Amino acid sequence: MAELETVDIDVQPEKTEAESHKKTVFLCFKRAFDIVSSLIASVILLVPITVVAILIMIKDPGCPFYIQERMGKGGKPLKILKFRTMRKGADKLENMLSPEQLEEYKREYKLNDDPRLIGYKRPGDGSKCFGARLRQLSIDELPQIPYNILLKGDMSVVGPRPILREELEKYYSLKEQQILLSVKPGLTGYWQAYARNGAKYQIGGGSATEYGAVLCEQNDTSVGYKDNNQDDKCSIAAQRCEINEQPKPVYEFFKRIFDIVVALVCLTVGLPVYIIIAVAIMIDDFGNPFFVQERIGYKGKPFLMVKFRTMFVHSEDMKKDLMEQNEYESVHFKIKNDPRITHVGKFLRKTSLDEITQAVNLLTGSMSVIGPRAFVKSEQEQLPNDRLCVKPGLSCYWQIADTANMTYDEQLELDYKYIRERGFATDLKIIFKTIATIVKGKNC
């Protein structure tokens, strides 16, 4: 493939000698960071990568890896190594797509419900089959760490999204192409933190910055997200709080990086703990050790929250008989000495170990380490939607406060307090206080 044609366009003012020196030093330290971090990650991920490769070959016999050509720094072709998420020979299976799906795929280079994914059996499986899960959790991109970052050095940990040549030529001007290809593509970047799953190309031309492709993110209003001016459920707490919804690119970017690191550490180093807890749950009350529930997240988009099961298998059937005992002056249900909680469940809740599986949600980007509580749809319908302007989290002010003795408005104020004050210092303070709360054994 011929190299990308370039033209003489000044995309930035000419740099001074001092600025050029700083950039050289930065690039040296960045490459050193890439080598050290990818080497450590490769060692940690050796077993998980092997397991995933075996599972792919069991689900769909054939090579578990897939090499795809993208555009690298300077317009040079880049071959990225990924786990295969589609059936073997998927490129030749376009006859499985309807005319509408084929048109969408040629326009967006992806489908929300692709029947060629591994494990796809019926319409709707495109968001829950085996191949889809690999994509949602970014597991399909793990081979890029040892191959592209460590060995070949043609990618970095942080950088623009590695883009297809067709996408580049279709959606970007020559000037934008030069900006996009002026640095190495990365495993993560602003595109990963903001628009990985909810982005669509704006027909008629996209845009690019020095941080990479900026896609047109779609606001999903299907679940009733409204801005503050339209919200007819605005509470007293909301009226006396100035909510800060302004984007904080640097903060959000590093927060996303932190979420990914925490998730990877939990899912690799903590694997033996996960296995022990899962076995203990099944011994105490036989059944699925995990509890998956739909919650409402950022901008009103629903997502599946994963937790260890702490109640008996048929606990939801018992809830209607216990509603009168609800001790919360709020929209969610909770009582002391809940008869639905198992013996193992009491320990998991007291130590917050039931929530460590939410590392999966951190990896997919549906949750953050720190953020407001995520409610189920029926509960969120009773709350003002302006609290959905940030991602929900594993912990926040509500986790370190005695919410059981708070009024409805006081609990809402905690969410608005975080939205107003969110930043590096606030997140660190909440993290340390959360650890102290767990050590004390406080059941939040």
Taken in order 81, 103, 86, 201, the sign of the CA dihedral is positive
CA distance 184 to 73: 5
Q: Is the pLDDT confidence value at 164 over 90?
A: no
Q: Which pTM was predicted?
A: 0.52
Neighbours of 439 (CB within 10 A): 9
Q: Where are the domains of the chain?
A: 28-217, 228-439
Q: In this predicted structure, what is the pLDDT of residue 387?
A: 84
The model's pLDDT over 333-357, given as tens digits with 9 standing for 90+, comes to 667 677 888 999 999 988 888 989 9
The model's pLDDT over 58-71, given as tens digits with 9 standing for 90+, comes to 999 989 999 989 99
Do 394 and 360 contact (CB within 8 A), yes or no?
Answer: no
Most confident range (mean pLDDT) of 126-130, 136-140, 291-295, 338-342 is 291-295
Q: Is the pLDDT confidence value at 228 over 70?
A: no
CA distance 41 to 261: 10
For residue 63, the Cα-to-chain-centroid distance in whole angstroms is 27
- Range with the lowest mean pLDDT among 58-72, 78-92, 204-218? 204-218
Residue carrying structure tokens 């406060």: 401
Name the percent of the chain lying above pLDDT 70.
75
Mean pLDDT of the chain: 78
The model's pLDDT over 93-113, given as tens digits with 9 standing for 90+, comes to 767 777 777 777 766 667 777
Do 372 and 390 contact (CB within 8 A), yes or no?
Answer: yes
247: pLDDT confidence band, cut at 50, 70 and 90? low
| Strand 368-370 with 77-83, pairing | unpaired
- What average pLDDT does this structure show over 408-416? 80
Q: In this predicted structure, what is the pLDDT of residue 308?
A: 92
- What average pLDDT does this structure show over 288-308? 91
**Which of 257, 35, 237 shows the shortest CA–CA distance to 152?**
35
Identify the burial level of 13 via C-beta atoms within 10 angstroms of its C-beta, where 0-12 means exposed, 13-18 middle and 19 or more buried.
exposed
Name the percent of the chain lying above pLDDT 90.
23
Q: In this predicted structure, what is the pLDDT of residue 75?
A: 86
Residue 122: helix, strand or coil by DSSP? coil
CA distance 153 to 151: 6
CA distance 178 to 370: 37
List 396's β-bridge partners, or say none.
none
Most confident range (mean pLDDT) of 101-105, 127-131, 294-298 is 294-298
- What average pLDDT does this structure show over 349-376? 90
Q: Higher confidence at residue 89 or residue 318?
A: 89
Q: Is the pLDDT confidence value at 226 over 60?
A: no
Q: Is the pLDDT confidence value at 443 over 70?
A: no
- Range with the lowest mean pLDDT among 16-20, 56-60, 181-185, 428-432? 16-20
Q: In this predicted structure, what is the pLDDT of residue 5?
A: 46
CA distance 315 to 327: 18
**What is the rounded radius of gyration, in angstroms, for the C-alpha atoms of the chain?**
24
> DSSP characters for 310-350?
-B-TTHHHHHTTTGGG---SSSS---TT-TTB-HHHHHHHH
The model's pLDDT over 34-81, given as tens digits with 9 standing for 90+, comes to 999 999 999 998 998 999 999 999 999 989 999 989 999 988 899 999
Q: In this predicted structure, what is the pLDDT of residue 28?
A: 87
The model's pLDDT over 322-332, given as tens digits with 9 standing for 90+, comes to 666 655 555 55
Q: In this predicted structure, what is the pLDDT of residue 444?
A: 43
Q: Is the pLDDT confidence value at 1 over 60?
A: no
Q: For residues 386, 430, 271 and 146, what is the CA-based torsion angle, rounded to 10 degrees?
A: 80
